[in-house]
Structure formats: C-alpha cells, structure tokens
Amino acid sequence: MFLRPDGRDLRIIGFYLGKIAMALALMMALPAALAVALREWDAAIALVTGAGIAASIWQGAEWRLRTRAHLTWAHGTVVVALAWLLGSVLAAVPLFLSGHFGDFLDAWFEAMSGLTTSGLSVVNDLDHLAYSMNFYRHLTHFAGGQGIVIVALSLFSASGASIGTLYVAEGRDERIVPSVVRTARFIFLIAGAYLVAGTVALTATLWAAGIGGWRGLWHAINLFFAAFDTGGFSPTSSSIAYYHSAGVEAVLAVLMVAGTMSFALHYALWSGRRSELLRNIEVRTLVLTLTGFSVLAVYGLVRAGTFDTTGGLMRKGLFTLLSAHSGTGFAVNNGTLYVTDWGVLAPAAVVAVMALGGMAGSTAGGIKVLRIGLTTKGLLREVRRLLQPESAVTVATYHSGKRRIITPPVLIAATTILLLYILTYLAGALVALLYGTWDVTEAIFESVSAAANVGLSVGITSPTMPRGLQLTYILQMWLGRLEFMAAFAMVGYGVSLVGSRRR
C-alpha cells in the first residue's frame, strides 16, 4: 500500500526547499561582492537579482510554510530530487541575465551542469565573461559537489536528527561519523584543508607559468573548485591547454584524485588508517581500471600516430584518462581532436572510464568503482560456486572501512544501478543519433559524459545544439547525480499525489 501525500506533506517539502533557496542566495552573494569590488556592475546586478529572487523564496517559505513536522524518508527523497531541479533553475537566473546565454534553457543547462559537477558548457564567448560571473560558474561546482542539500540543512537546521534521509537520498551511501551534521562538517573540513593547500599550490604553479598577480589567484581558486569537486568548468575556453604547464597539470591531477576519493576514505586517512588505501575495494578497482585503460589509451594513441613522445602520451593521453575517470572533465586539447586526431581506441578508453566513474560517496559521477568491484566479485563468486561441490558454502567479501560480506541485496542494488546507468548512456546516445548530425562514436561519447557528470565533449554540446538534446542531457545530468532512486521516488510520489487527488 502506498502512502497518499496531501497538502501537509507538500508544505513540509516546500519548507525545506526554501532552505535550499537560502543556500543559493548566499552562494550568489559571494560573487556579487566580487563584482562590486571589480566594478562589474552588469554582473553585480544579475547576481543580486538572482540572490534577491532566491532570498524571497526562502523568506516566503519561512513565513508561510514553517513547520515542526517530522521529515520522513519520502519527504527527504522528494526534497533532494526537487532541490536539484529548483536549485538549478534559480542558479540559472544570474547566468541568463549575464547576456552570455541565448535563452533560459541554455542558462539552466549551464547551472545544472555546474551544480551536478558535470562541466559541459554552452556559454557564449567565455573568454570575455565577467570575472565575477565566471567565478560564480565555478562556485556552483563547489556548492553542488559538497552537496547543496546537506550543506543547507546541516548548517542551518537546529537538529540533524530529521535530515539523515536527505544525506542518503543525495547519493552519499553512508554516514562517515554517526551524526549527519558532524559528517557534513567533516566534509567541509576536508574541503577547507584542500582549498587552502590546493589554491596555494595552484597559485604558485600559475605564477611560474606566467599568470602573475591577482589573476593567478583567481585562476587558482576557480581551478580548485572544478578539480576537487570533479566539475570540469574552466576559466577559459581552451580549458587546461590554456596554461601549457606541467606543474599546473600535476597539481590538478592530485586534486582530481582527491576529489574522486570517497569522503569515508578521506576520513580513514585523516584518522591515520593508511592501510585502508591498500585494502579498500574502491581503491583497488580504481587503480586496476585506470591502469588497464591507460595502457589501452596509450597503445591506441601510439598506433594511430597521434603522439610519439612520452610527454605527449603522459600530458595529453594519461591526463585525459585521469580527468575522465575521476569525473572531472578537464581537457588538454580541443574536443574535436578526439574524433579527428585520436584514432578509435583511445577515445573508446576515455568513454569506458567516464562510464565507470569514481568512488561512491565522492563528488564523482558514473557507475562508481564500488559497484564495478562488487559486481566483479559477485560474478567471480558465482563462477567459484559452479566449480565447487554443491555442499560448499561460497562467501565473497570486500573491504570498505571494514570487512563486509557481499549479500544478495547488496549485489542486486549494485547491478541494478549499473544497469540503469548503461541504459541512460544508451538512451542519450540514441536521442543524439535521432538528429542525424553525429555518428555513433560522438553520440555515445557525449551521452556518457553527460550522464556520468564528466564534462568532456567532442563538440556536440554547444549553444547551437538541438533543444531536445539539450533537455535530454539536462535530464541525464540530474539522474546521474541522484543515482536514479531519488528521481524515481519523486515520480512515484507525484503519481501517488495525483492518485490521492482523484479519489
């Protein structure tokens, strides 16, 4: 029997969505202050308008919807699913008013891409975009990557007791420490530590690369947000190729790896449990897949004659593989070159690692290496079981914080999500193929990049792309970020709502 939601439930959902609007208003206020400091008045007005609208929604929700009612699992799931939709619409307001987007759909695409840490971009004339507005684009990565829902609710709720559901619904598998609020604060502690260290290291390497003064710092902060939150936006149109710097790429590689690591693993390392690095199933799977596909990509690039120097293979080939596997999406060459100059094997390896994604409980997207590891172990267990006497009991285990048994529900959950991702990748590619403009390689590349929240592009994503495909990618980015279940639950909630109204 399904629950029948009524007006009281919608009031609770609306009240918590108001808190999301508050977080967005605060997020817009920071670049607005930068715009005023830099005398970028048009950008300042756009950001203040966005902040004002978000603040009005927040105040309206506090005024008319305030409630002490308990937040149930159903409420929490719907709040999370709607938060990414409503949040991205509100986040799109300043972008649209900046004058760099053709219509509101373009701005919504950019905002969804930013908040879901995808990094696909449809901005016109990025190289002349106001500093403050460009900073705002990158800030959406940080807000989305650190989990805007958990941020808003853990920092501004009186109690974390009723919001645990939001944490899980948002695609974070488990609490790192018993309290959700403490977990969120630990996430911010980690992010803060990396922010300081990463920004200092990037600023130093950027200064050495030739971008001096405050511009070096500005690039560094933006790049940090995009790297650590596995986002992929970059301050300039040529992404990381702009810097021509091995030092910058090295620091970004470290930040991308840190970003794709689960916060549980960060916590283990923070607590001095370094052995977790060697035993953790996700680390092992990630190392194996990254190594295997890197070898494949290097072989492909050499076979195609794309690069014949170690520098080219490392700084173009391997950096791109790491960028794709971590879910970041930084590019070190023009996206068209993946089609025109990379041959066939290396782009296939890039697509494969994009599809696999990073670790669960991180800011990375994709299927996640945890599910790949679990599915592989489950498959091996089945093979072992077939080869052993019928009376033998076969148990498969994995290490993630502690030794755990792979139970049938765990395996079913992992394979179900894996299957849903593959279907989403294929569906997006099919929609692109319907337009008859791109071949199957390009269609799959771009679809996987969108659904796995990566952001590498072969050029399909642009301000002139078909509207239907743009909506498809928005849907894919949203589903990929939520890992499907919260979105499906929201649809189910809506169906129940309609059903209850008909009765």
Partner 1 sequence: MNGAPGPTAPWLIAPVAFLVILVVGLQALRAADERPPDPDLLVAAEDLPLLTGDVIRCERERPDNEPAQREVERIVTGTRVSSATVVACPQAFDGRRVTYVGEVVGDVLVRDGGAWAQVNDDAYALAAGPLPAHDDLQGTNSGLHVWLPDTLRADLEPGRPGRRGDVVEVAGVLVRADPEDAGGMTLRADQLRVRAEAVDVEVPVDPAQVALAAVACAVAAGIWGLRRREQD
Residues from 308 through 367 that contact partner 1 (CB under 8 A):
308-309, 311-316, 332-334, 336-337, 339-345
Q: Which is nearer to partner 1, 269 or 318 (CB)?
A: 318
- Whether residue 98 contacts residue 43, with contact meaning beta carbons closer than 8 Å, is answered with yes
- Whether residue 184 contacts residue 150, with contact meaning beta carbons closer than 8 Å, is answered with yes
Count of residues binding partner 1 (CB under 8 A)? 96
From its phi and psi, is residue 393 left (phi > 0), alpha (psi between -120 and 50) or beta? beta
Contacting range for partner 1; rule: CB under 8 A; set: 10-18, 182-190, 377-385, 478-486: 10-18
Q: Which is nearer to partner 1, 56 or 397 (CB)?
A: 56
Instruction: Looking at 70-179, list the stretches that DSSP marks H as alpha helix, in order from N- to C-terminal side.
Output: 73-97, 104-115, 131-145, 148-156, 164-169
Which residues, 131 to 190, sit near partner 1 by CB under 8 A? 131
Contacting range for partner 1; rule: CB under 8 A; set: 44-52, 261-269, 354-362, 382-390: 44-52
CA diameter of the chain: 77
53 scored as a contact of partner 1 (CB under 8 A): yes
Q: Which is nearer to partner 1, 286 or 332 (CB)?
A: 332
Tell me how far, at minimum, the Cβ of 366 lies from partner 1, in Å: 25
Tell me how far, at minimum, the Cβ of 401 lies from partner 1, in Å: 35
Tell me how far, at minimum, the Cβ of 392 lies from partner 1, in Å: 48
Tell me how far, at minimum, the Cβ of 28 lies from partner 1, in Å: 11
Which residues, 229 to 268, sit near partner 1 by CB under 8 A? 236-238, 241-244, 246
- Whether residue 262 contacts residue 281, with contact meaning beta carbons closer than 8 Å, is answered with no
Which residues, 83 to 122, sit near partner 1 by CB under 8 A? 86, 89, 93, 96-104, 121-122
Helix (H, G, I), strand (E, B) or coil at 176: coil
Tell me how far, at minimum, the Cβ of 314 lies from partner 1, in Å: 7
204 scored as a contact of partner 1 (CB under 8 A): no
For partner 1, the binding residue among 250, 304, 348, 471 (CB under 8 A) is 304
Give the 3-state secondary structure of 225-284: HHHHCCCCCCCCCCHHHHHCCHHHHHHHHHHHHHHHCCHHHHHHHHCCCCCHHHHCHHHH
> In the numeric block, which tokens belong to residue 364?
């990375």
10 scored as a contact of partner 1 (CB under 8 A): yes
Which residues, 390 to 409, sit near partner 1 by CB under 8 A? none
Q: Which is nearer to partner 1, 134 or 289 (CB)?
A: 134
Tell me how far, at minimum, the Cβ of 333 lies from partner 1, in Å: 7
Tell me how far, at minimum, the Cβ of 39 lies from partner 1, in Å: 9
Contacting range for partner 1; rule: CB under 8 A; set: 127-135, 255-263, 323-331, 349-357: 127-135
Tell me how far, at minimum, the Cβ of 369 lies from partner 1, in Å: 28
Distances (CA, A) of 240 to 230, 250, 316, 450: 14, 11, 10, 20
Which residues, 280 to 299, sit near partner 1 by CB under 8 A? none
- Give me the phi and psi of 404, to 5 degrees please: -130, 155
For partner 1, the binding residue among 30, 72, 217, 401 (CB under 8 A) is 72
For partner 1, the binding residue among 79, 129, 150, 356 (CB under 8 A) is 129
Burial 331-355 (b: 16+ CB within 10 A, else e): bbbebebbbeebbebbbbbbbbbbb
Q: Which is nearer to partner 1, 93 or 451 (CB)?
A: 93
Distances (CA, A) of 40 to 95, 98, 114, 233: 14, 11, 22, 21
**Contact pattern from residue 364 through residue 383 relative to partner 1, giving x for each residue in contact according to CB under 8 A and a dash for the rest:** --------------------
What is the rounded CA–CA span in Å between residue 85 and residue 80? 9
Tell me how far, at minimum, the Cβ of 73 lies from partner 1, in Å: 12
Tell me how far, at minimum, the Cβ of 419 lies from partner 1, in Å: 31
Q: What is the DSSP letter of 181?
A: H
Indicate the burial class of 42 (C-beta count within 10 angstroms; 0-12, 13-18, 19 or more): middle
The residues facing 458 across adjacent strands are none
- Give me the phi and psi of 400, to 5 degrees please: -150, 90
Contacting range for partner 1; rule: CB under 8 A; set: 123-131, 146-154, 368-376, 473-481: 123-131
Which residues, 435 to 494, sit near partner 1 by CB under 8 A? 462-464
Q: How many residues does the chain have?
A: 503
Neighbours of 36 (CB within 10 A): 15
Which residues, 208 to 227, sit near partner 1 by CB under 8 A? 208-211, 215
Q: Which is nearer to partner 1, 6 or 382 (CB)?
A: 6
What is the rounded CA–CA span in Å between residue 229 and residue 259? 6
Q: Which is nearer to partner 1, 17 or 265 (CB)?
A: 17
Residue 103 host element (H or E): none
Tell me how far, at minimum, the Cβ of 317 lies from partner 1, in Å: 8
**What's the half-sphere exposure (Cβ side, CA atoms, 13 Å) at 276?**
18
Q: Which is nearer to partner 1, 175 or 316 (CB)?
A: 316
Tell me how far, at minimum, the Cβ of 263 lies from partner 1, in Å: 32
What is the rounded CA–CA span in Å between residue 10 and residue 14? 6
Q: Which is nearer to partner 1, 56 or 388 (CB)?
A: 56
For partner 1, the binding residue among 111, 120, 130, 350 (CB under 8 A) is 130
> In the numeric block, which tokens belong to residue 380?
């091996």
> In the numeric block, which tokens belong to residue 29?
């206020």
